[in-house]
């Protein structure tokens, strides 16, 4: 089977086990078939417009303010918290598959990079799902919002915009919030979940780095100023990119520049983004 057909199948799979199996099939077939040009060759004629990637049929999508309250205290609230991480990881599988599937005319390295991300996201999802199952719940038992996939859909017309707003904004947010979450979970003495979060955190630095690399590469290729473009994009898409702490250390490791990190910090405190960007730029000159 052709790589992009396999990717399409994986992306559209709604059953959890089916999706995991078909991603693993890609992982195994790639080892044997990378030398076969037929496995890779493709044009963009068969690419589907996917308004919703496959998610479990029983998973109810609701607006973000209707998602069940998470808590570190009650069992159900804690399960809702772990479920929200499972949901992020399941979405992350779809996001990585979609990048590899949709932007197939980019160099093979792009496809490889996002496949590697998809393989790691399957691992993250499986680990976190196990933690949820130990509490007596499973993925699909709680309601979830669709912000991540919505952004993938909105940016499906251009890999540069996708790289700018999905890995660099939404996925990078995970780097900011994970350390504090780990601390609270450690206080609860759920060390197994802490270990899973450590694996996720470590790998996510690499995923954001891949997003940063391709964002910069595509911007350079088009002769665009990457920072100026980023500012325009985040105001156009009205993203709440930095509510709270910005993990400068992890983001620096993930390929953000000093200038961008200063901008992000100022932006976070800002109610008037445009003015604050100008302020940050003048500060860093």
Residue 162 Cβ vs Fe ion, minimum distance, rounded to whole Å: 17
Of 60-68, 124-132, 139-147, 156-164, the window that binds Fe ion (rule: CB under 5 A) is 124-132
Burial 184-195 (b: 16+ CB within 10 A, else e): ebeeeebeebbe
Residue 250 Cβ vs Fe ion, minimum distance, rounded to whole Å: 14
Q: What is the DSSP letter of 65?
A: G
Structure tokens at 45: 């004629």
CA distances from 143 to 41, 70, 94, 130, 234 (A): 39, 12, 18, 18, 27
**244: alpha, beta or left? (left if phi > 0; alpha if psi -120 to 50):** left
Comparison of 121 and 260: residue with beta carbon closer to Fe ion: 121
The answer to whether 163 and 79 have CB atoms below 8 angstroms apart is: no
Comparison of 89 and 113: residue with beta carbon closer to Fe ion: 89
Residue 88 Cβ vs Fe ion, minimum distance, rounded to whole Å: 7
Q: In terms of Cα–Cα distance, which of 91, 99, 115, 111 is closest to 16? A: 91
Site string for Fe ion, 170-209 (x = CB under 5 A): ----------------------------------------
Comparison of 29 and 126: residue with beta carbon closer to Fe ion: 126
Residue 97 Cβ vs Fe ion, minimum distance, rounded to whole Å: 13
Residue 128 Cβ vs Fe ion, minimum distance, rounded to whole Å: 9
Structure tokens at 200: 């996720």
The answer to whether 124 contacts Fe ion (rule: CB under 5 A) is yes
Q: What is the DSSP letter of 74?
A: S
Residue 212 Cβ vs Fe ion, minimum distance, rounded to whole Å: 16
Residue 204 Cβ vs Fe ion, minimum distance, rounded to whole Å: 6
| C-alpha–C-alpha distance, residues 227 and 267, integer Å | 13
| C-alpha–C-alpha distance, residues 145 and 63, integer Å | 6
Residue 186 Cβ vs Fe ion, minimum distance, rounded to whole Å: 20
Q: How many residues bind Fe ion (CB under 5 A)?
A: 4
The answer to whether 145 and 63 have CB atoms below 8 angstroms apart is: yes
The answer to whether 140 and 56 have CB atoms below 8 angstroms apart is: yes
Q: Work out which of 8, 76, 98, 121 binds Fe ion, going by CB under 5 A.
A: 121
Comparison of 118 and 280: residue with beta carbon closer to Fe ion: 118
Comparison of 94 and 266: residue with beta carbon closer to Fe ion: 94
Site string for Fe ion, 215-254 (x = CB under 5 A): ----------------------------------------
Measured on CA atoms in the order 72, 78, 84, 86, is the torsion positive or negative? positive
Tokens 């759920």, residue?
190
Binding site for Fe ion (CB under 5 A): 89, 92, 121, 124
């Amino acid at each position: 089977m052709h790589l992009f057909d396999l990717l399409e199948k994986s992306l559209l799979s709604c059953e959890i086990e089916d999706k995991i199996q078909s991603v693993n099939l890609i992982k195994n077939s790639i080892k044997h078939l990378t030398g076969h040009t037929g496995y890779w060759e493709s044009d963009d004629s068969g690419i589907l417009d996917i308004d919703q990637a496959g998610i479990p049929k029983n998973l109810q999508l609701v607006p973000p303010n209707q998602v069940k309250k998470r808590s570190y205290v009650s069992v159900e609230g804690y399960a809702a918290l772990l479920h929200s991480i499972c949901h992020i990881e399941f979405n992350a599988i779809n996001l990585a598959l979609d990048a590899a599937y949709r932007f197939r005319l980019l160099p093979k390295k792009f496809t490889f990079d996002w496949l590697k991300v998809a393989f790691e996201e399957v691992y993250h999802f499986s680990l976190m799902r196990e933690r949820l199952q130990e509490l007596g719940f499973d993925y699909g038992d709680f309601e979830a919002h669709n912000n991540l996939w919505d952004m993938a859909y909105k940016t499906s017309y251009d890999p540069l915009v996708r790289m700018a707003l999905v890995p660099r904004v939404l996925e990078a947010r995970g780097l900011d919030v994970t350390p504090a979450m780990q601390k609270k979970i450690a206080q609860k003495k759920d060390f197994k979940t802490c270990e899973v979060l450590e694996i996720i955190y470590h790998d996510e630095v690499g995923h954001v780095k891949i997003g940063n690399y391709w964002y910069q590469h595509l911007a350079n290729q088009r002769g665009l100023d990457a920072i100026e473009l980023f500012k325009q994009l985040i105001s156009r898409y009205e993203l709440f990119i930095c509510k709270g702490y910005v993990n400068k250390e992890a983001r620096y490791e993930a390929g953000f520049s000093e200038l961008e990190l200063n901008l992000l910090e100022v932006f976070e405190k800002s109610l008037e983004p445009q003015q604050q960007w100008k302020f940050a730029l003048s500060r860093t000159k």
